[in-house]
Each structure stands twice: as structure tokens, then as C-alpha cells.
Structure 1
Amino acid sequence: MIDFVATFIFFFAVIDPIGTIPVFIAVTRGYDAAAKRKIAVIASLVAAALLVFFAVAGEILLTAMGIPLAAFQIAGGIVLFLFALSMIFGESKPEEEVRLVKDHRETAIFPLAVPSIASPGAMLACVLLTENARFNIFEQMQTVAMMLAVILLTLLLMLVASSVHKVIGNAGASVISRVMGLILASVAVTNALAGFVSYFDK
């Protein structure tokens, strides 16, 4: 059985539901309440489908390309670490993705579903936390359930985005995003070290 709390926190860090709120508000500016709800649901469904695909087929694709999972784990840990550093020291998720909205067509798919909810870090996490050699089918289903729970939380926050944003503001969302980045950096280092151990033990 997986560690539900650790897995939930991991996905909370890489998906960052709080950081999605300013992005959602920017994307849906000018829409009525019904349209906002529809955009939130569509974005959540698209993100969930994409992440489930990576959880189910990610390792299969790596095997087909002849890439050892340990190598992907090391690379994934490094990428997640760099992603975490960008959350801590660079533009936070709200700042960066709200800027993307201003520069691109405002749609539910981009940047809301991808990369705001289904971020590169979340895609990597889905593959790393459903490794066939480390987790059985039941444990993988538990991991996917935790990921979907975080997406459901993200959907609920989007549905009450205006109220939440009034409370925390962009500054609050930025602070939370940076704290999540620190947690993610620790997890990333752990994954990279586990990959090195797995690779050199063979």
C-alpha cells in the first residue's frame, strides 16, 4: 500500500492547485458564471486524461524506446529539481502562466489544462510513481486515485476561484507556489538518488 499522504502532497506540489487560481481567473475574464464552470470542467477532464495516459502508458513507451526506467528516474529527478528551482527562484506559476494568457489565445486547454494543471512535473510524477517494478497494479491505481483527487481539488478551487483569490491574492498564491517548489525539490533529489541506486545495483 502506498503512502497516501506523501503521494497526495507530491501531486499537490507538481499540480499546484492554488497556483492555478490566478491562471483560471485570467483565462476566464469576461465569461459568465456558466461558461467559467464549463471551462473549469473541460480543463480538469483534459488534464486528468493526459495524466492517466502517462501513468498507464509512460513506462510502456520508455520500454519501447529502450530507455531504462532508472535512467528516466534520474533524468526525471533532475528535471523535477530544475522545475522546482524555477518555482522557488524564478517566476512563480501564477506569474508565469498569467503572462502566457496575455500572450496567447485564451482557451481552456492552454495554458489552463496544459501546462497549468497537467504540468511537465506532473507528467513525470505519474510515470515515476507507477513504476511496474516497484508498485503492483493495486498500488498504481491508488496513486492514480491520489492524482485524480488533487485534480478534483483543483476543479473545486477553480469553481470558487474568485472567493479564494480575494483572500490570498496573487502574492499569497506566489508564496504557496514557492513553498511547494521547496517540497518538490526534496522529492526530486530523492527520486534521482533512488534512480542512481537502482541503476548501479544492476
Structure 2
Amino acid sequence: MIDFLAVFIVFFAVIDPIGTVPVFIAVTRGYDVKAKRKIALISSGVAALILLFFVIAGELILTHLAIPLSAFQISGGIILFLFALSMIFGESKPEEETKLVEKYHETAIFPLAVPSIAGPGAMLAAVLMTENAKLDLWQQAQTAGVMLGVVFLAFLLMLMAGGIHRIIGNAGASVISRVMGLILAAAATSNTLAGITAYFNL
């Protein structure tokens, strides 16, 4: 049995469903309600498929390239840590990705599915949180289920985007994104230390 709360917190931090709300509002400006629902469904579905691919094939690809998972764990933890720092000190997710909307006019795929929901941090977490050496198939399935649950939460929040945005605004989404960045930094540090321990057999 996995620690569902810990796994949920990690995926909630890297996917950041609340931070997706302002991005969704910006990218669907001018669309009717039916079109917005379709965009929300497609973007969350595509993101789920991308993350499931990394759960299933991520470690296999590393094995084929003869890259030990511990090395990926160290590098992935460092990247996640840098990603977390950008969430804390840089532009928040809604601020950064809303700018992408202004440059490009794709809807469901970019920037919603990638990188808003299935971003680099989420892809790395999908691999690191389903390590074959530590988790059996059932535990990996549970982890994947939690991950898909967070994606589904992002879908629900996109459906309720208008009301949520009126309540918290961009400032509220920015604060939540930075808090999630702090939690992610701690999780990334833990992953890096675990990778160093495994690599050097400490």
C-alpha cells in the first residue's frame, strides 16, 4: 500500500490544477460553454495519456539507454528542485503560461495539455514515483491512479474555472502555486538524496 496523501501532494504540486485555471480562462476566451467543456476534456485526456506513457515506458527507456534509475533520480530531483525554485521565486504558473497563450492560439493541446497539466515536472514525477525496484505492479497502479485523480481534478477545476477565478483571482492562484513550489522543493531534495544513497550504495 502506498502513502496516498504523500503521492497526491507531490502530483498536486507538479501538476498544479489550481494554477491551470487562469491559463484555461485565457486560452478559452471567446469560446462558448460547450466548446470550453470540449477543450477541458481533450486537454485533460491528452495530458493523462502523456503521463501514463511516462509511467509505463519511462523506466524502460532509461534501461534501454543504460542509464541507472538512481542517476535519473538525482538529475530528476535537481531538475524538479530548479522547477520548484522557479515556482517560488519566478513567475507563477498562471503568469508564465498565460503569456504563452498570448503568443500562440492553440487550445486544448498547447499550452493546456502541455505544459500546463503534463509539464516537465509532472513527467519526471511520473517516472520517479513508479520506480520498479521499490514498487510492485499494484503499487504502481495505485500511484498512477492518484496521478490520474489529480488530472481529473484539473479537469473539474477547468469546468468550474469562471467561479474559481472570481473567488481567488490571479493573485490567489499565484500564492497557491508558490506554496506548492515549496512543497515540491522538499520532495525534490528527498528524491535527490535517495538517488545519491542508491548510486553510491550508502
1:18 maps to 18
Please report how far the alpha carbon of residue 106 of structure 1 lies from its aligned counterpart in structure 2 after TM superposition: 3.0
2:198 maps to 198
Residue deviations 1:79-109 (CA, integer Å, cap 9, x gap):
0000000000000000000000001123210
Paired with 1:143 and 1:67, the residues of 2 have a C-alpha distance of 23
What's the Cα RMSD here? Answer: 0.7
- Pairs aligned (count): 202
SS in 2 for 1:201: coil
2:136 maps to 136
Matched to 1:125, the amino acid is A
2:89 maps to 89
For structure 2, the 5+ residue unaligned runs are none
Paired with 2:110 and 2:42, the residues of 1 have a C-alpha distance of 11
Please report how far the alpha carbon of residue 117 of structure 1 lies from its aligned counterpart in structure 2 after TM superposition: 0.1
1:108 maps to 108
Paired with 1:12 and 1:107, the residues of 2 have a C-alpha distance of 22
Paired with 2:96 and 2:169, the residues of 1 have a C-alpha distance of 15
Matched to 1:117, the amino acid is I
Paired with 2:39 and 2:165, the residues of 1 have a C-alpha distance of 18
Segments of 4+ in structure 1 off by > 4 A? Answer: none
Matched to 1:187, the amino acid is A
SS in 2 for 1:72: helix
1:37 maps to 37
2:147 maps to 147
TM-score, L = length of structure 1: 0.99
Residue deviations 1:1-27 (CA, integer Å, cap 9, x gap):
110000001100000000000000001
Confirm or deny that 1:49 pairs with 2:57.
Answer: no
For structure 1, the 5+ residue unaligned runs are none
Confirm or deny that 1:70 pairs with 2:67.
Answer: no
1:80 maps to 80
